[in-house]
Each structure stands twice: as C-alpha cells, then as structure tokens.
C-alpha cells in the first residue's frame, strides 16, 4: 500500500525557500488568511502547521487538531499559540528565534530616527506641495539616554548600535546578569530607574502576564517630560489609550509603533491625528533576508520534528542546545533501535523501562535520548505518532515506569546505552554501543552479538545445535528473501543461542509462522529499523 504523505498547512505567508524544503518530502497546502471557522474546520487534516502572528492557535483550534504533531512559528513571538494546550496534546511547538533579529533591530532604529527627525511628517508635507523647513526641527540621538526594556536578542542588538550613535544605555531585564550588562556596555537598572532616565524608551519584551499593559498611565507618569517611546515588540505591552493621553498632554514628545494590541489596527485615526506619531503595520521582520531566514529555520525544525528527531528550537520539549545535539546525534539511532528490539521481544505489556548510560553519556543531559528510546518502544505499537513531547505522557498513560541511571562500571564497550524492559513474563536487556562513531547492537539478554541496526531484521532465538543456520537460511531463500548479513551470538546459554539476520525485505506473516515451526526455533521476531 502506498504510504500517505504527511500534510502541512502554511497558514500565513512564508518565503518559498522554506516551502521548497517542506515540499521535498511532504504535501504542502498554502492557505494564507484562513479565518477562525475555516481553520477549525480544516485543522484536523494536517500533521503540521506553519504560521506567523496572524493565525491564532487557541485551545479551541488545538482541540480539533487530532493529527497535528508540530506547530512551527516562522518568527519569534509565540503569544498567538496556546503552548499549554499544545503540550497537553503532545504537539511540539517550535519557533525560528534568530532569523529576524537583525531585521527587527534595524527597524527599531528606523523608527527611532524617523521619530527624532519627523521624517514621515516631513515627507507627507512635501507630498502635499509644501517646503516647510521650520516645522520639522528634530532632536539628536547623541548624548541622549536610551532606556531598553528586555535585553534579549533584539534589545542587545539595539544597545550595541545605539552606542555607535553616542547614546548612553540603561536597561531593565530581570534575567540580565551583571556580566552580560557589562559586556554589552549597558547600565542595569530597575524598571522605575529606566523609565525615569530615558529620553528614548524602546521595548523588546515578550508578551507575558507580567509584560501585558506594562506601559500604562502610572508608568508613563514616571517618565521624563518630552521623552519618546518606540515599540516594535508586542502591542499588548502598551496601553494605547494611556499612551494617546500622554501624547496629547505633551507629557511625551512622540511615539513610534510597529505593533498593536489588536492587529490589524483598524482604528488608527486617533493616533495619526497626533503630530509626532510614526506607525508601521508590523513590519519589524519584513525584510527579504529575515523572511527567508525564518522560513528556512522553521522548515528544518518541522522536518526534524516530523522525523521524530529532537528540535533545537522546540519550546515545549527538554531543550537541546546545538552543542549537546551534536554530541547526542550518533546515539539517537541507537536509542531508537534498542527500543524497537525490546518492544518486539517483550512478552506482554511493559511495566518498567530502565535506561542505563555509560561512557561519554554519563556526562551529558540525556533527556532527549530517553524520549527517543520511548519513541522506539511505542511507535511500532501505537496508532498515533510518538514524539519528544508526548512520549513520556504516553508511556505513563500505559502505566510504564521509567528509570534512568548512569553505569560507571567498565565493560567491553565504552559508550553504551542499555535498555531493560520488564514485563510480567520477565526482563529483556538490549545493549547498544557506538563503535568508531557508528551504532551497533552488541548484546541481547546474555547473548553477545554485534549488528548494525539498519533496515529489516529477523531475530531468531534457537536451540544451539548444528544445521539451524542452514534450515532458516534455506526457508528464507525459498521465499525470495535475500540475506544481507547474518550474525550468531558469541555466547550460547544452556544450549540456546540467537541469530540476527539482516534481510532485504520483511518476511510476510505466514513465512514468520513457518520459521517458528522449524524444529529448534524458540521464537521469531521481526524489527524494521527506520534510522533517523
């Protein structure tokens, strides 16, 4: 039967470069500007969605997203996604945090300079046929104090550039260390101190419960008379009616906004009627470079997530820093393989899973390997796709107890990952090791064996007596199955051994039954290693 391609909805406009990456493997449907009802009606068809800020992934939409495995945000802000609801449903949420940083940083400067020199107003005046040099007396940035709220990627970029303009920088960010403030040439201060000191105040905050309506009447009152505000972060951080009052009363000399509490901003008249207001329609990330950057980043994240791989930019799974990801990468196929084998060998429902790490793994954060082992165990038996977010919850829902431990004893192999799976019938133990950087299964229970987990494999525990290899090989050959490689374990126990046969295709069920009927065969298990 032909395998159905996974389906991805592109809900807001994103660059073709990202779409091309997704189309190589998946069915991509572009439907920008879907309204809420259309989204609710169609979201159930998709395995992944890519969006910017316009599409709202509310709990209501997520409840209908029965196939959805991943939500990819082509940009930074995820305030349009209910991450809690997504996590509860086992859906990975990822963003593209770096691709538009420079664009938003430069746009902040464009707004600040336009505000200081009233460029849009001067342009409009000329467009109306006037030549008015007196009306547009500006102020300089040099020697003025720039207050920054939120010194993350964009805040830091603004701070560095502002220094080249000769500005002094004072910043409020509760997560900013004194060392980083010093490196960035910024004075760290409280919120009140920043508000009192700033000639220009710029916001680079996420929208959270703490930052919503942060700039309100009381906080505006703390600012210097004649200060100016720039907001290219999130509209919900500023109470627009309080801002309008402060501009009207002359408390503030001007404001430049790129973002609004409700977007699109339908009623801009009140703001535009004021003399020194500069508005852009959420253009911070609207450069060719940024749109290509975020689209490519989010597409790679979606591909990784749909392949069941850990995603560096995922927001609701154990974070895997790129350096850690590079160290763990060779172990992922191993973790999947030991899971795949254990679930085939386990007799009855699994009660407990113990994962043991040795060698290089002892020093590393192995949470992503634990979830990979669970994917290897659960994906072959569950209808729904198991991923790094839902794996622990799915295991728990099946009553599986998960244990992890480091093994400091020296064995025959250095870098190993051992999986023990307990059922009511007994315990199975699979050991995987990295040899010259390549994954091998090196033990199954007490049997020492060595094979690379690739493609279809038949595992045959059997009586340790002459002629077994011939009988099994002959039956496979007679049924048109080519043997790519065969390993018999080095150690036999009490007259029994195991063979691992790499084949060119999976034997059908009747052939597996015929293999089981061979005198001396204890059991037959088939495993398909998809790799990563």
Q: Which of 144, 204, 228, 282 is catalytic?
A: 282
- Which residue number places its CB atom closest to ligand NAD? 152
CB 248 within 8 A of CB 222: no
**Calpha distance 200→198 (Å, rounded):** 5
CB 14 within 8 A of CB 36: no
Instruction: Give which of ligand NAD, ligand MLT, none residue 144 binds (C-beta under 5 to 8 Å, depending on kind).
Output: none
Please identify, using beta-carbon distances, which residue of 46 and 172 lies nearer to ligand NAD: 172
Among 72, 99, 152, 301, the residue binding ligand NAD under the rule CB under 6 A is 152
Ranges within 264-283 binding ligand MLT (CB under 6 A): none
Task: Please choose, from the candidates 404, 420, 419, 368, the residue with its C-alpha nearest in 3D space to the C-alpha of residue 389.
Answer: 368
> What are the tokens at 311?
């995603």
263 is catalytic: yes
Q: Residue 89 pairs with which residues in a beta bridge? A: none
**Calpha distance 158→101 (Å, rounded):** 10
Site string for ligand NAD, 211-250 (x = CB under 6 A): x--------------------xxx----------------
CB 462 within 8 A of CB 521: yes
Near ligand NAD by CB under 6 A, which window of 111-119, 204-212, 376-384, 491-499? Answer: 204-212
CB 452 within 8 A of CB 440: yes
Near ligand MLT by CB under 6 A, which window of 3-11, 22-30, 70-78, 303-311? Answer: 70-78
Q: Is 211 in the site for ligand MLT (CB under 6 A)?
A: no
Kindly give the residue spans of alpha helices, DSSP state H, lying in 96-228.
Answer: 101-117, 119-127, 153-164, 178-183, 191-197, 217-221
Q: Is 52 in the site for ligand MLT (CB under 6 A)?
A: yes
Q: Is 101 in the site for ligand NAD (CB under 6 A)?
A: yes
Among 13, 77, 380, 455, the residue binding ligand MLT under the rule CB under 6 A is 77
Q: Is 285 in the site for ligand MLT (CB under 6 A)?
A: yes
Please identify, using beta-carbon distances, which residue of 131 and 175 lies nearer to ligand NAD: 175
Q: How far is the CB of 180 from ligand NAD (least distance, A)?
A: 9
**Calpha distance 124→144 (Å, rounded):** 27
**Calpha distance 258→172 (Å, rounded):** 21
Near ligand NAD by CB under 6 A, which window of 57-65, 166-174, 304-312, 480-488? Answer: 166-174
DSSP string, 153-176: HHHHHHHHHHHHTT-EEEEE-TT-
Task: Please choose, from the candidates 400, 324, 418, 396, the residue with its C-alpha nearest in 3D space to the C-alpha of residue 367.
Answer: 324
Please identify, using beta-carbon distances, which residue of 79 and 352 lies nearer to ligand MLT: 79
**Calpha distance 261→240 (Å, rounded):** 8
Furthest-apart CA pair in the chain: how many Å? Answer: 104
Q: Residue 145 pairs with which residues in a beta bridge? A: 168
Please identify, using beta-carbon distances, which residue of 276 and 287 lies nearer to ligand MLT: 287
282 is catalytic: yes
CB 201 within 8 A of CB 227: yes
Q: Is 394 in the site for ligand NAD (CB under 6 A)?
A: no
Q: Which of 84, 263, 347, 363 is catalytic?
A: 263
Q: Which residues are catalytic?
A: 234, 263, 282
- Binding residues vs ligand NAD (CB under 6 A): 76-77, 97, 100-101, 104, 149-155, 172-175, 204-206, 208, 210-211, 232-234, 258-259, 282, 284-285
Contact positions vs ligand MLT (CB under 6 A): 52-53, 75-77, 100, 284-285
């Amino acid at each position: 039967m032909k395998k159905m391609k996974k389906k991805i909805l592109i809900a807001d406009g994103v660059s073709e470069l990202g779409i091309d990456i997704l189309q190589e493997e998946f069915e991509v449907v572009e439907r920008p500007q879907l309204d809420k009802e259309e989204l609710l009606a169609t979201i159930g068809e998709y395995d992944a969605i890519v969006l910017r800020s316009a599409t709202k992934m509310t709990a209501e939409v997520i409840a209908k997203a029965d196939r959805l495995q991943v939500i990819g945000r082509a940009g930074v802000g995820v305030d349009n996604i209910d991450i809690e609801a997504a996590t509860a449903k086992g859906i990975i949420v990822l963003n593209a945090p770096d691709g538009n940083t420079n664009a938003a940083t430069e746009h902040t400067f464009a707004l600040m300079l336009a505000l200081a020199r009233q460029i849009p107003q001067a342009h409009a005046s000329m467009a109306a046929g006037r030549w008015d040099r007196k009306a547009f007396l500006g102020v300089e940035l040099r020697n003025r104090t720039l207050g920054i709220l939120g010194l993350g990627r964009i805040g830091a970029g603004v701070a560095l550039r502002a220094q080249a303009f000769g500005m002094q920088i004072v910043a409020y960010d509760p997560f900013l260390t004194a060392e980083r403030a010093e490196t960035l040439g910024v004075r760290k201060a409280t919120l009140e101190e920043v508000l009192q000191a700033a000639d220009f105040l710029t916001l680079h905050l996420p929208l959270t419960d703490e930052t919503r309506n942060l700039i309100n009447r009381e906080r505006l009152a703390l600012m210097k008379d004649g200060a100016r505000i720039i907001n290219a972060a999130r509209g919900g951080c500023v109470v627009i009616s309080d801002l309008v009052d402060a501009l009207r009363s002359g408390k503030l000399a001007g404001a430049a906004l790129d973002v609004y509490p409700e977007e699109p901003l339908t009623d801009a008249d009140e703001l535009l009627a004021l003399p020194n207001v500069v508005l852009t329609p959420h253009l911070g990330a609207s450069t060719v470079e940024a749109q290509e950057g975020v689209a490519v980043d989010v597409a790679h994240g979606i591909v990784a997530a749909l392949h069941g791989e850990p995603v560096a930019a995922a927001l609701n799974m154990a974070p895997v820093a790129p350096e850690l990801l590079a160290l763990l990468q060779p172990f992922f196929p191993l973790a999947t393989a030991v899971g795949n084998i254990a679930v085939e060998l386990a007799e009855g429902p699994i009660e407990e899973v113990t994962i043991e790490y040795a060698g290089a793994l002892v020093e590393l954060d192995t949470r992503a390997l634990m979830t990979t082992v669970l994917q290897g165990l659960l994906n072959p038996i569950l209808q729904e796709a198991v991923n790094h977010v839902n794996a622990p919850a799915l295991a728990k829902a099946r009553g599986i107890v998960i244990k992890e431990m480091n093994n400091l004893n020296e064995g025959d192999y250095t870098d190993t990952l051992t999986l023990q799976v307990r059922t009511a019938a007994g315990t199975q133990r699979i050991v995987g090791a990295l040899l010259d950087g390549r994954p091998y299964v090196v033990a199954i229970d007490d049997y020492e064996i060595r094979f690379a987990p690739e493609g279809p494999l038949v595992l045959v525990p059997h009586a340790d007596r002459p002629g077994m290899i011939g009988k099994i090989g002959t039956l496979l050959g007679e049924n048109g199955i080519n043997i790519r490689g065969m390993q018999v374990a080095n150690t036999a126990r009490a007259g029994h051994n195991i063979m691992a046969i790499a084949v060119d295709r999976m034997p059908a069920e009747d052939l597996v039954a015929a293999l089981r009927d061979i005198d001396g065969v204890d059991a037959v298990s088939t495993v398909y290693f998809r790799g990563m």
